[in-house]
Amino acid sequence: MADHYEVLGVERDASPEQIKKAYRRLARELHPDVNPGTEASERFKSVTHAYDVLSDPKQRQQYDLGPQAQGGFGGGNFGGFGDIFETFFGAGAGGRGGPRSRRERGEDALLRLDVELDEVVFGTTRELEVDTAVLCDTCNGSCCSPGTSPVTCDICHGSGQIQRAVRSLLGNVMTSSPCGTCRGYGTVIPHPCVICQGQGRVRARRTIPVEIPAGIETGLRLQLPGQGEVGPAGGPNGDLYLEVKVRHHDVFSRDGDDLLATLEVQMTDAILGTTATVHSLDGDVELEVRSGVQSGDVLTIKDRGITRLRGTGRGDLRVGVQVVTPTKLDHKERQLIEQFAGSRRHVDPQLAQFQQGLFAKLRDRFTRG
C-alpha cells in the first residue's frame, strides 16, 4: 500500500493546513468531473483515502506508529520474522491463518451533490437516488441457491490452506498457501444463487435521505456512514461521501456567511430617497434608501444572510447600490431636467482623484464590509 504522505506529496511532519491544501490541489486536478479516466479515478480514491486518515488526528497517530502499534508476535520489530515463521511452519503455527471469511466490507462511494443557494441558507433534507450494490433478496447474502449451503472443501478439509514440504537449506520445511480450490474460504458453493451469481449482492437503485446542513459550502464533504455498497456475501456496507457544490444563483452571491446582491435605483429615487422591497431568499424585506445615495454604496440588512455552519446566528445581506441614469427622455422630461440643472450652480466636469471603477468599487466594499 502506498504511503499516505507520498500520495499527498507532503512531508511526514506536515501541518494539518499543509495536508488540507495538498488534498484540495490534487482533488481539483483528479476529480472525475475534471479528469475522467480510470487512472485518474483510482488516484482520486487514493488521495481521498490518504486525506481521510491524515486529517484525523487519532488515525494519523495510529498510522505514524505503524505496524508496531498492533503488538503481538507479528507486530513491532518482529513483523518480518512472523511472516517467515508463518511461511515455513504453516499459518496455524504463527497464530494467524485459517479459512478467510467470504463476508467483506463494501466499498466506499464518492458522489457529487449539487445544492441550491437557498438550500444553504437554512439547510434541508434531500432524497438522493444512488446506483449501488445491495443485499441479494434471494439468498440474503449467503451466496447459495435457496435450500442449499456451502460444503467443506475436500482438498484443504476446511482449513483454507494447503501445506507442502519444501526442501531448503534448513532441510524439509512445511510451507502454507491458500487453497486453490476454495480460494482460502475453506468451503465451496456447489449451487450458487442464480440471481447474484454467488456474490450475495446485486446492483440496484435505492433512495437515501440526506440531511444538508445550513451554511455548507462548495468543496466540503458529507459522510454518510453505512450508506455505501454492501460487501460481498452480505458484508457490512461501506460509507458514502458526498462532495458538495453550491450552484450559481442569478441574483445572490456568497461571501462567507453573508449574501451579496445589487440593487438598481433610479436617479430620482437616489436624489430623493425611497423605500425598496428586497426579495431575499427567505422572504421580502423593506430597505430604506437614503436621499443622496451613490453608486457603490453598500446597504446592510442584518441577519438575512446564511445560517452559520458552526456556531449560532446568521450572516448579513449586503446590497450594493447601482444608480441608473435614464438614457431616453421625452420632451417634457428633458425640460424638467434642464430646469433642475439651471437652478443649481453650474460646475464644469473635471478630472478628480482616481477612483476604482463601479464594479471594482462594489467588489472592494463587499469584501471589506
CB 314 within 8 A of CB 308: yes
Percentage of residues in the chain having pLDDT higher than 90 = 46
CB 163 within 8 A of CB 175: yes
Give the residue, 31 or 268, on which the prediction is more confident.
Answer: 268
For residue 9, the SS3 value is coil
Tell whether the model's pLDDT for residue 37 goes beyond 90. no
Residue 344: what pLDDT? 77
Q: How confident is the model at residue 260 (pLDDT cuts 50, 70, 90)?
A: very high
Q: How many Å from the N-terminal Cα to the C-terminal Cα in the chain?
A: 49
The reply, when asked if residue 182 is annotated as ligand binding, is yes
Give all strands (DSSP E) within 44-155, no chain letters: 109-115, 124-135, 151-152
Other C-beta atoms closer than 10 Å to the C-beta of 17 total: 8
Strand arrangement of the beta sheet that strand 221-224 belongs to: 109-115, 240-246, 221-224
Tell whether the model's pLDDT for residue 156 goes beyond 50. yes
Q: How confident is the model at residue 97 (pLDDT cuts 50, 70, 90)?
A: low
Give the residue, 319 or 312, on which the prediction is more confident.
Answer: 319
Q: What is the pLDDT of residues 167-222, one digit of tens each?
A: 766 667 777 888 888 999 999 999 999 999 999 999 999 999 999 999 999 999 99
Q: How confident is the model at residue 61 (pLDDT cuts 50, 70, 90)?
A: confident
Tell whether the model's pLDDT for residue 62 goes beyond 70. yes
Tell me how far apart the alpha carbons of residues 6 and 20 are, in angstroms, rounded to a whole number: 14
Q: List the grid coordinates of 7.
A: 500520495
Give all strands (DSSP E) within the chain, no chain letters: 109-115, 124-135, 151-152, 161-168, 171-178, 187-188, 201-212, 221-224, 240-246, 253-255, 258-266, 274-280, 283-289, 298-301, 317-324
Burial 59-70 (b: 16+ CB within 10 A, else e): ebeebeeeeeee
Residue 72: what pLDDT? 37
Domains assigned to the chain: 1-69 (1.10.287.110), 95-150+189-247 (2.60.260.20), 253-368 (2.60.260.20)
The reply, when asked if residue 144 is annotated as ligand binding, is no
Residue 74: what pLDDT? 36
Q: List the grid coordinates of 121.
A: 441558507
- Mean of pLDDT over the chain: 82
User: Which H/E stretch holds residue 79?
Assistant: helix 79-89
**In the predicted model, what is the mean pLDDT of residues 306-333?**
88
Residue 66: what pLDDT? 61
Residue 364: what pLDDT? 58
Residue 255 makes CB contacts below 8 A (sequence gap 6+) with: 318, 366, 367
CA distances from 236 to 6, 68, 201, 278 (A): 30, 27, 11, 51
Give the residue, 367 or 327, on which the prediction is more confident.
Answer: 327
CB 107 within 8 A of CB 229: yes
The reply, when asked if residue 193 is annotated as ligand binding, is yes
The reply, when asked if residue 153 is annotated as ligand binding, is yes
Tell whether the model's pLDDT for residue 136 goes beyond 60. yes
**In the predicted model, what is the mean pLDDT of residues 292-311?**
89
Least confident of 22-31, 91-100, 144-153, 251-260: 91-100
Residue 89: what pLDDT? 42
For residue 139, the SS3 value is coil
Question: What are the residues facing 322 on neighbouring strands?
Answer: 264
Q: Which residue has the cell 519444501?
A: 166
Give the residue, 369 or 79, on which the prediction is more confident.
Answer: 369
Least confident of 115-129, 283-297, 325-339, 345-359: 345-359
The reply, when asked if residue 143 is annotated as ligand binding, is no
CB 153 within 8 A of CB 179: yes
pTM of the prediction? 0.61
Q: List the grid coordinates of 357.
A: 471603477
Closest CA to 234 of 121, 363, 124, 142: 142
**In the predicted model, what is the mean pLDDT of residues 350-368?**
57
Percentage of residues in the chain having pLDDT higher than 70 = 84
Q: What is the pLDDT of residues 266-295, one digit of tens each?
A: 999 999 999 999 998 888 999 999 999 999
Q: Which residue has the cell 437503485?
A: 205
